[in-house]
A and B are shown apart, each in its own frame.
Chain A
Amino acid sequence: MKKHSVFSICLLLMVMVCLLVVVPVSHAGKTLKIGIVDCYSGPASTYTNDVRDAFNMEAEKINAAGGILGRQVEVLTRDSKFKVDIGLSAAKELIYRENVDILMGTINSALALAISDMCKKEKVPFFATFSKSAKITGEKGHRYVFSITENTALAGKAAAVGLAKKPYMKYWIAGDDYEYGHAIADGVWNNLKTLKPGVELLGQSWWKVGEPDFTPYITAILSAKPDAVIVATGGRDCVPFLKAAKATGFNERVPFFMHTATELSTLKPLGLDAPEGVIGTSNYFFYYPETPANQDFVKNFENAYQRKPAVGAVYGLLTARYIFGAFEKAGAIDTEKFIDNVEGMTVDSPIGKVTMRAFDHQAMLPMYMGVTRKKAGYDFLVADEIMTIPGDAVMPSIEEIKKARKQ
């Protein structure tokens, strides 16, 4: 009796699931579907919300003007909750069920690599919007993946260019002990050594991601007396580390560099309590450059979302402009023609003209290096003494990419 009920229930369940096939897939009628898989829960969402919001802003503009090739743009988002299996499942759902034309996302590099691999098989273009692994367009790059964001190789090179201009010779490296931390540190250090052969590495400290107390590490670094420190923290630990730096007076004793230290997402939560004099690199500031393009963008974003745009917004905007621009140029909703048109394409943006390098599908974004300072008119610190490092100066050479991909 028991067993039969179980079987019956299983049968019932199967029927139910099959009925779910009729769950509305989305609007009838042809639309251009863009799927975004990203982490919208937890601390990462402070970055990813901007990407989605800026993208939606562009999409609405396009739809108001009649859409792309007669089709309205439809944006579908899925939350990966920073879990790779959930994100991968969501990506499959978007591709198999919703039949999206383009996929974009995600801040989690592991997920981005997994999705990239899947998109290669499925022949769906994937735009990496915030994941920083250099493998995405480097070692694991392929025809169907594009990157609109900087990665550890680019950031490393840019930082090295900036640091080489400073007088520091003896360095210490410290950071989060995971793939991203090491990749950024390696990127900075290897490039710095090439640009300035005299630099010396005194030692390294690595702590676990989410380390609650940096004091002992800071102490160890101070006792080694380096000229400067390269701090390789991932998004989550930037804010706590800067807090610890302020509390221990670390920033006043030793200059240190931290990628994204000057970004809005890092400095805003700290308010006026952030340490000054920290060297940081970033792809975007809403207050620099003070060009009409940037100021218009900031104004529109603020009107729409009641907050100032952080770097993710520029990534979202660039992705939108590449996607819509390439489809228009291609003249048809055809994947291969689309890819051909994105390669080498240049779009306008708040940070000037940005070109998508054809060989490795990496957008050539300029990097800004600055120093944190208090400034009148802002209730958080901003970047000062900003130095612009143009996109093509920070890209790895095509030979390097070929070597990484073993071509």
Chain B
Amino acid sequence: MYKALFDMKTTFIGLVLLALLLMLPQFLPRFYVYLFALMFAIALLATSLNLVLGFGGMYQFHHAVFYGFGAYAFALFATKSGLPLWLGYAIAPCCSAALGLVLGLITVRLNKLYFGMLQISLGSLVWAITYRWYSFTGGDDGIHGIPLPDLVGSSVGAYYFNLTVAAVCLLLMYAIVSSPFGRVFQGIRDNPERCRAIGINVQRQQLVGQTIAAFFAGVAGTLFVTVEGSVFPDLMFWTLSLEILIMCLLGGWFIFLGPALGAAMIICLRTFAGIYTEYWTLILGLVLMLLIFFLPEGVLGLFLHKAGPAVRRER
């Protein structure tokens, strides 16, 4: 199956990229090692959103809730359960997936804007509960100082760990998107009526897609904890969800690595603009407005002219 996914040239370039990333920590200052580790986690998050957004055409307005839920699950596991940490890495994404399933069951019955709005309400409900339940979740204080072994907790350790996990997950997601399920999923995005007509259970497919996306968002959550060592309710807030959407938009959501690129760009912008001015949200806002106005296909669209299957226009 691997041969079906990648040809020789792609594999070669991919390996070069990977080799470079593996070598970076050797000659990059510590701060950049940390930044890259963070970028891997967020790139994974953005790609997981794009699974249902770009490839599924679903209006996923509150993806952050799955990310935050996974991060919290991992943090609570690490600080309260006393069980080995690697188990936490496995359990937390499953918790996110479960949440995705539950929320999905309620929301996939609707479509487009209604789907998105219901998801925001449900997501906000989860956020509100987390925010108020301070005896369990630490409430608005969050949980800090999560104990991680140096192997993954140190700057370099987090870098390699995040890189490995993110790369594996991206590969898995790519495989899913290229699989028969993935094709059907994209078909649903392009023309749900026709899919129904040939007997596909659209809602079931969307539910599965939702659960998978939530799973990988949960993984991203654990990676975040790995690099930062803390969780807080902001991770589940709707503004973060919109930021992730922006990352997908920025990088181009019809292409697999687009959102990852968008994520990297946003983090760089945030970090470096923040050094020079406290009005960097103004700059970000203006850049986005210009981008949407002139380049509806994202940054990559500019380079690639003819994009892949166009996202279906709403009418």
Contacts and interface: CB of A to CB of B under 8 A. Distances in A.
Asked if the two chains touch in their complex, CB atoms less than 8 Å apart, one says: yes
Interface stretch (A77-85, A254-262, A266-274, A337-345): A77-85
Interface string A1-17: 01111111111011001
Interface centre among A78, A97, A110, A113 (most CB of B within 10 A): A110
Contacts of A89: 38, 270-271
Given A2-B308, A7-B13, A21-B28, A114 B142 contact: yes
A93 interface: yes
Contacts of B271: 89, 93
Interface string B250-287: 00000111101100110010111011001001000000
A6 B300 contact: yes
Given A93-B271, A97-B31, A11 B230 contact: no
B140 interface: yes
Interface in A1-48: 2-11, 13-14, 17-18, 20-21, 23, 40-41
A109 interface: yes
Interface centre among B29, B134, B234, B275 (most CB of A within 10 A): B275
A96 B30 contact: yes
A133 B265 CA distance: 35
A11 B32 contact: no
B34 A96 contact: yes
Contact of B234 (A14, A17, A85, A177): A85
Interface size class of A (residues with CB under 8 A): 35 or more
A179 interface: yes
A84 B142 contact: yes
Contacts of B193: none
Majority-rule SS of B interface residues: helix
Interface size class of B (residues with CB under 8 A): 35 or more
B212 to A, nearest CB: 22
B140 A86 contact: no
A21 B229 CA distance: 25
Contacts of A40: 278
Contact of B230 (A97, A114, A177): A114
Contact of A9 (B9, B21, B31, B303): B303
B234 A113 contact: no
A322 to B, nearest CB: 25
B4 interface: no
A84 B232 contact: yes
Contacts, number: 128
Given A110-B141, A114-B142, A10 B304 contact: no
B144 A117 contact: yes
Contact of A23 (B35, B272, B304): B272
A92 interface: yes
A5 B9 CA distance: 12
A118 interface: yes
Given A88-B228, A90-B274, A21 B32 contact: yes
B1 interface: no
A98 B132 CA distance: 37
A178 interface: yes
B230 A6 contact: no
A117 B275 contact: no
Given A21-B32, A83-B234, A96-B30, A3 B141 contact: no
Contacts of B26: none
B10 interface: yes
Given A21-B29, A85-B232, A178 B304 contact: no
B134 to A, nearest CB: 6
Interface in B205-245: 228-230, 232, 234-235
Contacts of B13: 3-4, 7-8
B139 interface: yes
B37 to A, nearest CB: 11
B12 to A, nearest CB: 10
Interface in A111-158: 113-114, 117-118, 133, 140
Contact of B17 (A10, A23, A113): A10
B21 to A, nearest CB: 8
B26 to A, nearest CB: 12
Interface of A: 2-11, 13-14, 17-18, 20-21, 23, 40-41, 78-79, 81, 83-86, 88-90, 92-93, 96-97, 109-110, 113-114, 117-118, 133, 140, 177-179, 182, 209
Given A5-B300, A90-B274, A96-B30, 20 more contacts: A2-B255, A3-B13, A6-B261, A7-B257, A9-B300, A10-B261, A11-B16, A21-B29, A21-B32, A84-B230, A84-B234, A86-B270, A89-B38, A96-B155, A114-B145, A117-B144, A178-B134, A178-B139, A179-B139, A179-B141
